[in-house]
Amino acid sequence: MKREIHTEGEFKYIEIGEGEPLLLLHGLFGALSNFEGIINHFSKNYKVTVPLLPIFDLPLREVSLLGMVEYIKSFVRIKGYERVHVLGNSLGGHLALLYALDCPENIRSITLTGSSGLFESAFGSTFPKRGDYDYIKTKTEGVFYNSEMASKALVDEVFDMVNDRNKAIRLVVTAKSAIRNNLRGKLHEIKVPTLLVWGKQDEVTPPFVGEEFNKRIANSTLIWIDKCGHAPMMEEPEQFNQALEDFLKNISK
């Protein structure tokens, strides 16, 4: 479904529904469409907001995870949200954690799915020779348990990113920033209720990563989804939404 993208100053975002803010943060190769199932399900009871992260728009010297956290902080401040439920997939989970560590007073809950921040096996710090479509196709398919989820349109989108020199540089810089910002020694500072939803067949942030987050974040719950890879909200939306709904309802009791 085509969603209306709002523009407010430097910010572009989707905002649908009314209620407590549910802030969704996409990954490095993510897009608004990644969250379609969440938007449809939760906009009935929550104000679901998805900012377009400025991975390709920030000045190159500001491209980093901390630069994007500042962007998120400014966005939440401009929107006037007092406390948010923040959800992140992959790099978006990493950003959610950094934001929560920096602004704990603004966080109602955290949901992580396939989050980076401890370990991630993806493209690494460099990209293959430009034009290697088969490599990109294989890597994109590897995000999912069911490789058919990697549609030609999705593979083409990733391929176009890594073949655009400006975008490729920014992707590499962001990936290196993620490696530098390992959160192993800081996760004990997270005190808010945290939901971890992990695909049992996640090859990017394997199951041991979810277990490590669960061990290091005191007030956390780990939910496994079988026959599922790195993006549970896309691959198994019904199971994902049920886990998130139960979690949010339990917080509001």
Please report the domains of the chain, with CATH numbers, ordered by start residue.
6-119+183-252 (3.40.50.1820)
Q: How far is Cα 64 from Cα 87, in angstroms, rounded to an integer?
A: 19
- What does the pLDDT read at residue 197? 98
| Closest by CA position to 206, among listed 137, 81, 118 | 118
Query: Given a cut of 80, is residue 203 above it in pLDDT?
Result: yes
**Tens-place pLDDT, residues 23-48:** 999 988 877 778 999 999 999 999 99
**pTM confidence score:** 0.93
- What does the pLDDT read at residue 227? 97
- What does the pLDDT read at residue 130? 62
- What does the pLDDT read at residue 118? 94
Phi, psi of 240 (to 5 degrees): -60, -50
| Closest by CA position to 212, among listed 116, 106, 82 | 116
Higher pLDDT, 13 or 123: 13
Higher pLDDT, 63 or 15: 15
- What does the pLDDT read at residue 229? 96
Q: What value does the mean pLDDT of the chain take?
A: 91
Query: Given a cut of 60, is residue 80 above it in pLDDT?
Result: yes
Average pLDDT (195-206) is 96
- What does the pLDDT read at residue 30? 74
Higher pLDDT, 1 or 128: 1
| Closest by CA position to 66, among listed 159, 183, 178, 163 | 178
Average pLDDT (172-176) is 87
**Tens-place pLDDT, residues 224-253:** 999 999 999 999 999 999 999 999 999 976
What percent helix, strand, coil does the chain show, rounded to 5? 45, 20, 35
- Confidence band for 125, pLDDT divided at 50, 70 and 90: very low
